[in-house]
Each structure stands twice: as C-alpha cells, then as structure tokens.
Structure 1
Amino acid sequence: MKVLVLTKPSFDTTLLRVDPKRNEIITKGVPYHINDHDKYALEISSLIKQKNPNVQIIAIGIGERESKDSMREAIVRGADEVYFIEKIPSIKYEPYIYANILAEAVRQLNPNLILCGTLSEDYISSSTHIFLSEILNWPIVTNVINIVNLTDSYIIVDRKRENIIETYEIKLPCIIGVTSGIVTLKTITPIQIMRISRDKVKTLNLVNLTFENTIEVQALIPIQAKQRKRVFIDGEKNMDEAVKTLIDNLIKEGLL
C-alpha cells in the first residue's frame, strides 16, 4: 500500500519581518521548512507503518528551488521516498494550481491513500486538498483527529465537528486531512536533517499539465491594529453627563 503525504515547503513564519516603509512582509532570506500542519500527517503515516509494515510512505512537495533541501525532514520523520516539484516561474501559484499539479503527481505515483494537514501556514490556505479531491474524484474527510483502522480497501477515522465526534468508514483511494495535535510531534533537530543526503529528495518532472492561471499573489501586507483612543469618561460626579458624553462620542465614531 502506498500512502502519499502532502508536505508543502513553507518559509518559517516565526522568522518573518515587516518592512516598515512599504508595510509589506519580507520573505526573502527566510529559511524554509515543512509546513507545520503537514508534519502531523507525516507523523501519522509513520504510526500507520508501524502497524502495517507493508505500507510505503511517499512525501511530496511543491516549492521554489531553494526550498528543496527542507524536504529532507520528511525522511527523518519516516518517509521512504521524497519527491520535490520545482515551481515554474511563469506559473502563478494558488491552491487550484497546486491541486492540478498534485493531481498529475498522483496519477504517476498511484497511491492508495493521501494524507495532509488541513492548513498551510504561509498563506493560511485550507483548500488545496479540497480542490485535489474534486479533480481526482476521490472522497475526502477533513478535521480528522484519529485513525481508527486501515485496511487494503477502506479506512476508518474519527472527525471532530464542533462538539461532535463523527466516525467515518471511507473506501480507498481517498484523502484524509488531519488536525494539528492529532499526535505529538517528534523533536527533530537541524543536525538530523543535515545528515540526510540531498539526493534522497528526488525531483519529479510533470509534463501533462493543462490549466489556466487564475490568481497571483502580488504582495503580503500585514494588517495593522488600530490604536485605541483611550478616552476616559468620569461618571462619579455626574452620571447623566457622563452617559451623554459617551453617547456623543459613539455618534461621532459612527457606532450609533
């Protein structure tokens, strides 16, 4: 059985800076790592293999050339094979484009099950796996908090929806989006990743891609929090006057 884990290379959001003059987020020079949410999918796939030794774990990611080395972490986390698809500069990337590229990779690799996180930390997107499900015509279950059982023909999972736990039995092939916290992540050090040979990450070349670009990210602009005016109204001496002042201020601000 082949389990394909979607592992997006992402810039480390904890190291992002803001250009105060242009009011833009600076990504140049920020190191890459595997999307934090996808690490849980890798961890789950490793646990699945412990129970089912015949499982082959394949990790795949799409990114800029300089992000390829970050995919070595997938091997440290238990992947048997790792594939990297380098972004083409002429293509404007967004979730639908990612999904089309991944769909072509799925047709080549022919997995029985796809695991992924439910969110990407760089652009806070949670739709690529949904688009992929539609393109492949595979069933999908998201917000999965537990893998109950996996056989050659179906998988049983627990899914959290608000205050309800739902249990699903889904026929393979299918896509499962796991939540962060589904397991405890192993601590991985940079040295462990650096010990993995670069040639362990294989480049996957796709030739049968036919799609139209739809969206292009022009800039990353941080949302600036508005400063509070900190207006203090003393109502101890004259409550009626204080209430009138409060109402007048609310009207001026357009809140009443």
Structure 2
Amino acid sequence: MEIIVCVKQVPDTTEVKIDPVTNTLIRQGVPSIINPFDRNAVEAALQLKEKQGGSVTVISMGPPQAKEALKECLAMGADSAVLISERAFGGADTLATSYTLAAAVKKLGAFDIIFCGKQAIDGDTAQVGPEMAEHLGIAQLTYVAKIDVVEDNTVRVEREHEDGYEIIEVKLPLLASVVKSINEPRFPTVKGTMKANRMEIPVWTAGDLAVDEQKIGLKGSPTQVGKIFTPPQRTQGVIIKKDTAREAVAELIRKLSDAKIV
C-alpha cells in the first residue's frame, strides 16, 4: 500500500509573529513544531503500513527549516520525504497550498491513501485536505477516528461526531484527515533518528512541479487578510462577597447597572 502524509511545520503557539506588511505569519527563525494533528496522521500511516505493507512518503510545503519536521517523521518510521520549498510559494492561502500539494502528489505517482491532520493549529481552517482531494478528483473523509482495510481497494472508516461515530466504507484512493483520538503518536527512536540524519530530503520548486505560477503563493491566493491584531488582555473579574445569596445578587445587579450592561 502506497501512503502519502502531508505535514506542516507550525510556529510554537506562544511565539507567533505577524509580518505587518503582508499580514502573514513570520516563520523564519521562529521556534517551530510539527502540527500535532499531523503527528497523528503520520502514526496512522505507519500503523497501516505495518498491517498492509507498502511505504510511507511524507511531504511538506514550507521554508528550508521545515526539513527538521520531515526528519522527525523519518525518525518515526516514514520511508521517504519531500520538501516543497521556494520563495514563490510564500504567503499561500489554503487554495494555493492545496493546489501546490496536489501537484506534488501527482509528481510522486500512484498512491492509495493520503493522510492529513484534521487542521493546523496556526490557521485552524481544516480546508487544505478536502481541497487537495478536489484537485486530485478523489474521495475524502474528515474527522477520521479509525480506519481499517476490509478489501484490497476498500477501507472502513469511523468518523467522529459530537454525538457518536459514522461508519463509512469507501473505495481507494482516498484522502483522510484524522482527529487526535485516532492514536497516540510514537516517539522517534535513536536508531531512527540516526538513519533520518543520513537521508537526503529532495527539495521541489515550482519548476519541478510544473505548476501555474498564477495559482501559487500570494498570486494564487484569493483570500486576503484585511487586518490582524492581538486582542486586548482580559482584566481580572470582580469577586462579590456577601452574607447571603440575595445580597450577592443585588450587588451584582447594581454593578452591572453602573456599567450600563443591564
């Protein structure tokens, strides 16, 4: 079984910085981690490979430093990795990103399943996976909490909902975006880390993918950010202490009235 996993290196959530000119995230030189949901996607791919055989290829679009995220995936057990990186890809929204990743998948060749994380913690859009499936013309299932192969070209998937699970059988090829409850990602081993450090990770540019340059990066991004700002820090609330609940309620109403809230 040929499996592809899309991962994203995201800024540490406590270190997010915004370019005031382009209104995009500044990634260069910022402490970064593998998007947590993408770690679950890698683990799902590895478990499926262990059951069915085949190979796992991990791809990522980002700056050169994203190679570190790919090396971690290789250390976990992935067979190969590819970085899609060029200045022209910078500033891409979900549509441009999904278009570029879909082009990379086509370059890789035949596949059975693409795994993605449910969403990235920096953008929280959950759009790239489904949009990739549309570009590739394949089935897609989101919020996947369990996946099993029932026949050579059919899988049974459990989709997580607030009130339970939806069980679906679908023909391959398939794109599946996974939730956190699907598994517990393994840690890279020492042997795996040493092997990953020796592996060469190819870097593909726009020329390698033969993409339309009007559909990548900022040029190919119809989503425009009008303004971005840090919300004001919340002030500490007021604690009301009275002898009885009636007195406390009366005091609360008085304070709300003084503040012209009621």
Normalising to structure 1: TM-score of the pair?
Answer: 0.82
**Which of 247, 258, 261 matches 1:255?**
261
Paired residues of 1:33 and 1:71 also in contact (CA < 8 A): no
Q: Deviation per CA, 1:77-130, whole angstroms, max 9, x where unpaired?
A: 221110100142574222111101011112212322111110112233311112
Q: How far apart, CA to CA, are the structure 1 residues paired with 2:249 and 2:190?
A: 60
Paired residues of 1:38 and 1:117 also in contact (CA < 8 A): yes
> Shift in Å at residue 216 of structure 1?
5.3
Equivalent residue letter for 2:210: V
Q: Do the aligned partners of residues 44 and 17 (structure 1) sit closer, same or farther apart at CA in structure 2, a change above 3 Å counting?
A: closer
Equivalent residue letter for 1:227: T
Q: Do the aligned partners of residues 213 and 130 (structure 1) sit closer, same or farther apart at CA in structure 2, a change above 3 Å counting?
A: same
Instruction: Specify the alignment match of 1:161 in structure 2.
Output: 161
Q: Deviation per CA, 1:214-235, whole angstroms, max 9, x where unpaired?
A: 2356887443442134163646
Q: Deviation per CA, 1:184-224, whole angstroms, max 9, x where unpaired?
A: 22123789546523653111232223422223568874434
> Shift in Å at residue 73 of structure 1?
1.1
Normalising to structure 2: TM-score of the pair?
Answer: 0.80
Q: Do the aligned partners of residues 12 and 226 (structure 1) sit closer, same or farther apart at CA in structure 2, a change above 3 Å counting?
A: closer
Q: Do the aligned partners of residues 136 and 18 (structure 1) sit closer, same or farther apart at CA in structure 2, a change above 3 Å counting?
A: closer
Q: Write the mapping of 1:103-142 to structure 2, written as runs, cut at 5 A.
A: 103-110=102-109, 111-142=111-142
Equivalent residue letter for 1:75: L
Instruction: Specify the alignment match of 1:22 in structure 2.
Output: none
Q: How far apart, CA to CA, are the structure 2 residues paired with 1:26 and 1:103?
A: 24
Paired residues of 1:56 and 1:80 also in contact (CA < 8 A): yes
Q: How far apart, CA to CA, are the structure 2 residues paired with 1:218 and 1:26?
A: 17
Residue 206 (structure 1) aligned with residue 209 (structure 2): yes
Q: How far apart, CA to CA, are the structure 2 residues paired with 1:156 and 1:243?
A: 55
Q: How far apart, CA to CA, are the structure 2 residues paired with 1:234 and 1:128?
A: 53
Where 1:181 maps in the other structure, the secondary structure is: helix
Paired residues of 1:59 and 1:81 also in contact (CA < 8 A): yes
Q: How far apart, CA to CA, are the structure 2 residues paired with 1:101 and 1:90?
A: 8
Q: Do the aligned partners of residues 220 and 187 (structure 1) sit closer, same or farther apart at CA in structure 2, a change above 3 Å counting?
A: farther
Q: How many residues align?
A: 247
Paired residues of 1:144 and 1:160 also in contact (CA < 8 A): yes
Structure 1 range deviating more: 122-131 or 242-251: 242-251
Q: Write the mapping of 1:22-101 to structure 2, written as runs, cut at 5 A.
A: 29-53=29-53, 55-89=54-88, 91-101=90-100
Equivalent residue letter for 2:144: V
Q: Structure 1 regions of 5+ residues with no counterpart?
A: 20-24
Paired residues of 1:92 and 1:216 also in contact (CA < 8 A): no
Where 2:60 maps in the other structure, the secondary structure is: strand
